[in-house]
Structure 1
Amino acid sequence: MQRITFGTSGWRGIMCEDFIFENVKVVTQAIADNVKASGEARKGIIVGYDSRFMGESFAREAARVLTGAGITTYLCIRDTPTPVIAFEILRRGTAGAINFTASHNPPEYNGIKFSPSWGGPALPQTTTDIENRANEMAGEICYTECSIDEAMQKGLLVEIDPMQAYLEDLATKVDFAAIAKLGTIAVNPLYGTARGYLAEPLKAHGVKVVQMNANRDPYFGGFPPEPSEKYIQDFIRLVQQDPSISLGIATDGDADRFGIVDSDGSFIEPNYIIALLLDYLVRVKGMTGGVGRSVATSHLVDAVAKLHGIEVFETPVGFKFIGELISQDKIIIGGEESAGLTIKGHVPEKDGILACLLVAEMVAREGKPVRALLEQLYEKVGRYLTKRVNITLSPELEEVFPERIAATPAGFAGVSVKQKVTVDGNKFILEDGSWLLFRKSGTEPVVRLYAEASNEARLQALLEAGREFIVGKA
């Protein structure tokens, strides 16, 4: 067995290579042992899966191991969104959930994500314990399996579908009556778990819906199931070609990320959506509290927070840290530039379904397209443009990278460094308010370079200066 390593959202691997039944059983047993050690095993564990190959089979094998360990297991009867599983943890009061998902990764991947009893993604101390337990079991038969029939007869296995309870709760947080006045909405679940969670509730509230990619396809149409501009060109064309469409909303494979397409077919970066929704939730819905964002997320969020006099919490990358702020009731909204967000009173997990519907509500109640709302916000707080690029390191550059990134340069692109932030990676804030962030990938020889500035020319200059800082002059 290859070493099990949990990243920002669980353990992921390529199916038939490291993601195989035997390894899944070992990791499941490690989770069972972790939950028993926490004293919460009597509460039971939910097991869910996304729309990838063999999701049901992996889930059933996990259920056999859990019930073999004497833990009551609530097994989802269909592929289920990650935020819905988080909701069900809290609703049922379980010890947590095992979710078979690789989120937005290509179809050859699958993964195990564990969420403990507070409903958010497991924090590092939990995942480290699970890692250690799993890796200590390598090569051993360390679990007892119970057949599905026997587990059901003993009352240890209960089949569930949490859809209806989640949708009923969602209706208390989203103004569907306002959305119904918007006109046609285009919906794209990207062949994933949001099928039935977006189009159907909208239709039930009188909204006209145009839908695409709404069948289950483990190949995800030949692309990673990521609602980014690169992978939803068919959806963008649909919105561009139909003048009746007021908004396009999309989710990723497990429905925890969102993608927004404006009425003219413009793709709106998640950074800007987080800031727009913060402003909307405070100004229109009267919500109070702080705001949480990852270190890589736009400071447009900070500008909106300053406008409304609220506190900003900057976190490492990984939604578990924002989820923790939600569970502590410290923030109105928390978000990441990678298209994850949630709000106060909701699950401490990113929810692409909720995000899409809140944007639809905002556009409907404000009576303007998303881009017009963004320009309106810029007039109040200034313009912020953000971009991320990946820099591939040669073996030589990878060897010297730690020493190079440890240095603090005098400045970038002619502007002095004002502050260095090391919450996650190395972030250099410049005198003019622009910034760069360098984060080394934990799985490949790649540095993720983020930059933000007030105009396109300045942004490109920063990206070039950042690249030069890492690889040297061309």
Structure 2
Amino acid sequence: MIRTVATTPYDDQKPGTSGLRKKVPVFSQENYAENFIQSIFDALDGFKGKTLVLGGDGRYYNREVIQKVLCIAAANGFGKVMVGQGGILSTPAASHLIRKHKAFGGIILSASHNPGGPKEDFGIKYNAENGGPAPEKITDAIFSKSKAIKEYRIADAPAVDIDTVSTTTLEGMTVEVVDPVKDYAEMMEGLFDFKALRKLFESGFRMRFDAMHAVTGPYAKEIFENRLGAAEGTCRNYHPLPDFGGHHPDPNLVHAKHLYDDVMSAAGPEFGAASDGDGDRNMIVGKGMFVTPSDSLAIIAANATLAPGYARGIAGIARSMPTSAASDRVAEKLGVGIYETPTGWKFFGNLLDAGKVTLCGEESFGTGSNHVREKDGVWAVLFWLNIIAARGEGVKEIVEKHWAAYGRNYYSRHDYEEVESARANALIDELRGKLGSLPGTTVRGLTVEKADDFSYHDPVDHSVSEHQGVRVLFKGGSRVVFRLSGTGTSGATLRVYMERYEPDPKKHDIETQQALADLIAAADDIAGIRRHTGRDRPSVIT
């Protein structure tokens, strides 16, 4: 039976760059999740009888919302929902399913790299028919509907068994529970040289992959150990848990330090990698070398033709504005386009769909390509393994040779997490107010050449996105970028990015924070970080 339930709107359901993210107690409020799900469908047209892809990263409240989506989708007229077994589906795998099966779209339940648990984070994101995050015109429409919603439609039915691969019906709608790994693993086999990778592991090459008790565990176990023959135990923390084992599923030098320490130890493996809550981020570590996400994008681009799926070369590269310019130099040498976009993977979608770019990357540990419309953690790890196998070199050697050929972009990001929103906004507002007076001034021996609030003009649909981050560019090519992140659920996260280009190989062995010391001090002088935030150091340095 299908019911129409009267409801009242909530005023805080505006989706961010990655959907709607709130604490579990917020989503658990009466009709809160139902309102937002119905608002998604109310903002869409033409889905009657069509297919919806559904899954999540297994975090707390995932299974409950899976059932809500199924019942509301049935009541609204979808013809079919493809749901990952156990409610599990990594974000890139969901994107692939949407594209492969020509689905109308998909709903992904995740708060990405944020913690999970009864009082932690949850999220709902809608992906469009191209497999990518909904563009702003759709998320704006969803928010508009959420503010005016008066009722939602839902099927009254027993919970669907999502733990068994099977096909059932729900009020006339087909529910297909699918293996969440199979299609994705087959796609990876088509992109990379699995025969060469099997030989790499047969030769004794050792790797450690930390799934952080998040969604990529089943994918890593199947691909690295079962299909490529990596030793049993290569994959750690591979069982997805609702609270990620009490850990923070963010693959960086703070939350995955144990992996870094393992690889750097004398007895550790040659290669280490990790992914995040929903499987779209990655961290790459080699013996004696941590690879920054910016360098990772540049090195993948420079070596792209070593992978069978990219043997014909790449059309172009896109990077988010805060990401270092390392990939720009590769694009210049290859003679392909380079595009600088705002932060948020949705901005890459138009460029990928138009065939302008093949590879994309963000400094926040996200890399991907035109194989899906999301960043992809396991894909990035496989690309690195493919490069290692083809070149017969370790990570450190590959990175240092790249710097020698292209120069090194010293780069770091300082995060000030959970800053009181009013304080964070005051800092940015004050910065914007002084942009006109900064050029020509000298700070810590650095002369400001240009200062602006980044705006993006999409070359495909000609849309304009303003206020995407404050940039201060210095003579000589160094820069500092300030922006507030929209991925958290508590307060605001101030992100500060410092970058310096060094072409001289003799100066490539300086410790990163030392190489950027004057820029770090200049950032505080310009923005008054300590004064505004009350912090004397960042929460996280990457």
TM-score norm. by structure 1 comes to: 0.92
Alignment correspondent of 2:447: 416
Alignment correspondent of 1:269: 292
Contact 2:306 2:386 in 1 (8 A): no
The CA deviation at 1:99 is 0.9
Alignment correspondent of 1:154: 172
CA distances 1:39-87 after superposition (whole Å, capped 9, x unpaired): 2443221111112113111111111011011113222222111100000
SS at match of 1:437: strand
The CA deviation at 1:223 is 2.1
Contact 1:88 1:162 in 2 (8 A): no
- Work out which of the residue numbers 240, 243, 251 in structure 2 matches 1:219: 243
Change (3 A) 1:21 1:224: farther
The whole-number CA distance in structure 2 between the counterparts of 1:65 and 1:434 is 51
- Are 1:57 and 2:64 matched, yes or no? yes
Alignment correspondent of 2:497: 450
The whole-number CA distance in structure 1 between the counterparts of 2:268 and 2:424 is 51
- Are 1:289 and 2:315 matched, yes or no? yes
SS at match of 2:413: strand
Change (3 A) 1:239 1:447: closer
TM-score norm. by structure 2 comes to: 0.81
- Work out which of the residue numbers 181, 197, 211 in structure 2 matches 1:189: 211
Alignment correspondent of 2:260: 236
Contact 2:424 2:492 in 1 (8 A): no
Which residue identity lines up with residue 429 of structure 1 in the other structure? Answer: L
**Bigger shift: 319-328 or 403-412?**
403-412
- Are 1:31 and 2:45 matched, yes or no? no
Alignment correspondent of 1:354: 379
Which residue identity lines up with residue 22 of structure 1 in the other structure? Answer: N
**Bigger shift: 331-340 or 160-169?**
160-169
Change (3 A) 1:214 1:463: same
The whole-number CA distance in structure 2 between the counterparts of 1:46 and 1:397 is 37
Alignment correspondent of 2:96: 87
Change (3 A) 1:418 1:58: same
Alignment correspondent of 1:371: 396
Which residue identity lines up with residue 269 of structure 1 in the other structure? Answer: T
Q: Which runs of 5+ in 2 are unaligned?
A: 1-9, 161-167, 456-467, 503-509, 532-542
Alignment correspondent of 1:42: 49
Contact 1:70 1:156 in 2 (8 A): no
Give the % identical residues: 26
Change (3 A) 1:291 1:135: same
Alignment correspondent of 2:471: 427
The CA deviation at 1:401 is 3.9
The whole-number CA distance in structure 1 between the counterparts of 2:261 and 2:492 is 35
CA distances 1:181-237 after superposition (whole Å, capped 9, x unpaired): 331221111111112212322232333352211122222232210111111122233
- Are 1:436 and 2:480 matched, yes or no? yes
**Bigger shift: 246-255 or 437-446?**
437-446
**Bigger shift: 158-167 or 313-322?**
158-167
Contact 1:19 1:111 in 2 (8 A): no
The whole-number CA distance in structure 2 between the counterparts of 1:25 and 1:426 is 37
Q: Which runs of 5+ in 1 are unaligned?
A: none
Alignment correspondent of 2:431: 404
- Are 1:171 and 2:189 matched, yes or no? yes
Alignment correspondent of 1:74: 82
Which residue identity lines up with residue 362 of structure 1 in the other structure? Answer: I
Which residue identity lines up with residue 135 of structure 2 in the other structure? Answer: L
**Bigger shift: 441-450 or 318-327?**
441-450
Which residue identity lines up with residue 96 of structure 1 in the other structure? Answer: G
Alignment correspondent of 1:118: 130
CA RMSD of aligned residues (A): 2.4
Which residue identity lines up with residue 62 of structure 1 in the other structure? Answer: V
SS at match of 1:356: helix
Contact 1:291 1:305 in 2 (8 A): yes
Contact 1:30 1:134 in 2 (8 A): yes
Which residue identity lines up with residue 474 of structure 2 in the other structure? Answer: L
**Bigger shift: 431-440 or 323-332?**
323-332
How many residues are aligned here? 468
